[in-house]
Structure 1
Amino acid sequence: MTTPLQVTARLRTPVTEHDHIRGPRSAPVTIVEYGDFQCPFCGLVHAALTDVLRQRADTVRHVYRHFPITNVHPYAERAAEAAEAAGRRGRFWEMHDWLYEHQDQLDPVHLTLGVEQLGLPVDEVEAEIGRHAHSDRIRHDFVGAIRSGVDATPTLFVDDIRHDGDFAPATLLATIDAATP
């Protein structure tokens, strides 16, 4: 009896200097996350990755890419635009963390308060969001995700191979350790 060949999904868009990267750029293991700031499962993965990155600070770099599922999460694209506006000012990861820590507050009023809490220029950020100044970047991430077989959030790739296990810190740490040269 033969079994069908299992195909492992691979990351099709390589990591470049244009990506949002947290951790040592020369880390031996790279985790690419496709996420949606309004997705509750992404919020859980954010907490798990925070723990994992703390425990493997010298081993892992984390790359974040946008995959807003707007038909389910009406504020996801606006949140991604806010993150990119913050990133334009060197503050992407601060906004990223704020968005995940305040997932229940992504409506326009609360998002503006978050921008203000981070000390970003509210009028400028709001103008960028309003004119969708960063939509090309978000669309680029989204298209790259589709090419890589992403169909839900969160989706993680560990060293270009889709992680199909659970997202518990222990599982992620074991996956990282197995991938570490």
Structure 2
Amino acid sequence: MSNQLKPAVDGHDHSQGPRSAPLELVEYGDYQCSYCGEAYPEVKAARQALGDKLRFVFRNFPLTEAHPHAQQAALAAEAAARQGKFWEMHDALYEHQDQLDSAGLQQHAQQLELDMDQFQSDLKSSAVTEKVEADFESGVRSGVNGTPAFFVNGELYQGNWQDGELTRFLQSQLQ
């Protein structure tokens, strides 16, 4: 299996931070995965510590056999993206992992003041489904077999991401 990110980050990806940043961190995540929930504040800490030196990209990798709400949560994030609120929904899903059923997703959408008719329509749209599937397939091609999976500048990161290790590793890459 490859340890290279395939495809490279492009305009279809959700990213935070400058495109010109010397470091690019890509996470393949599942909104219902408890490990991804634990990684969420670690990624936020890394982003805060590195500032403009880091570009963070999130790709959906719902492990539907283990997590029955993961697919719908990923679709909700992508539906929110169509109204310019991907990152707000991403954060809400990770901060409320116990509220990923249909009622919880509706509540998050309402709290983000999304157009609910559009949100419902987008949840069922082929464009949103295809985006989640494309993210998942890119993870498979990149050798992802669990979540969270991180790539740093296109290479699979196999180190520990807990207890500030991810931030320390990223900082070491700048030296």
Which band: TM-score by shorter chain?
over 0.9
Task: Measure the CA separation in 1 of the matches of 2:126 and 2:30.
Answer: 17
Q: CA deviation at 1:45?
A: 0.7
Match of 1:148 among 121, 142, 146: 142
Aligned partners of 2:2 and 2:143 also within 8 Å: no
Task: Measure the CA separation in 1 of the matches of 2:65 and 2:123.
Answer: 19
Show structure 2 runs of 5+ residues with no match.
Answer: none
Partner of 1:85, secondary structure, is helix
Q: CA deviation at 1:133?
A: 4.2
Match of 1:21 among 4, 9, 15: 15
Aligned partners of 1:70 and 1:77 also within 8 Å: yes
Matched letter for residue 122 of structure 2: E
Aligned partners of 2:22 and 2:54 also within 8 Å: yes
Query: Which residue of structure 2 aligns with residue 42 of structure 1?
Result: 36
Instruction: Name the % identity.
Output: 41
Task: Measure the CA separation in 2 of the matches of 1:52 and 1:135.
Answer: 30
TM-score, normalised to structure 2's length?
Answer: 0.94
CA RMSD of aligned residues (A): 1.5
Task: Measure the CA separation in 2 of the matches of 1:23 and 1:154.
Answer: 20
Q: CA deviation at 1:85?
A: 1.0
Seen in structure 2, the aligned counterparts of structure 1 residues 18 and 177 have a Cα distance that, compared at 3 Å, is same
- The Cα offsets for residues 86-107 of structure 1, whole Å up to 9 and x where unpaired, read as 1111111010000000100000
Show structure 1 runs of 5+ residues with no match.
Answer: 1-6
Aligned length: 175
Partner of 2:7, secondary structure, is coil
Aligned partners of 2:28 and 2:60 also within 8 Å: yes
Aligned partners of 1:159 and 1:179 also within 8 Å: no
Query: Which residue of structure 2 aligns with residue 71 of structure 1?
Result: 65
Task: Measure the CA separation in 1 of the matches of 2:25 and 2:149.
Answer: 10
TM-score, normalised to structure 1's length?
Answer: 0.91
Matched letter for residue 50 of structure 1: K
Partner of 1:57, secondary structure, is helix
Aligned partners of 2:2 and 2:142 also within 8 Å: no
Q: Does 1:116 align with 2:116?
A: no
Partner of 1:156, secondary structure, is strand
Partner of 2:167, secondary structure, is helix
Query: Which residue of structure 1 aligns with residue 122 of structure 2?
Result: 128
Query: Which residue of structure 2 aligns with residue 161 of structure 1?
Result: 155
Aligned partners of 1:49 and 1:169 also within 8 Å: no
- The Cα offsets for residues 101-146 of structure 1, whole Å up to 9 and x where unpaired, read as 0100000011101100000012221222134541111111111100
Aligned partners of 1:81 and 1:132 also within 8 Å: no
Aligned partners of 1:33 and 1:156 also within 8 Å: yes
Task: Measure the CA separation in 1 of the matches of 2:47 and 2:62.
Answer: 23
Query: Which residue of structure 2 aligns with residue 4 of structure 1?
Result: none
Partner of 1:166, secondary structure, is coil
Q: CA deviation at 1:176?
A: 1.0
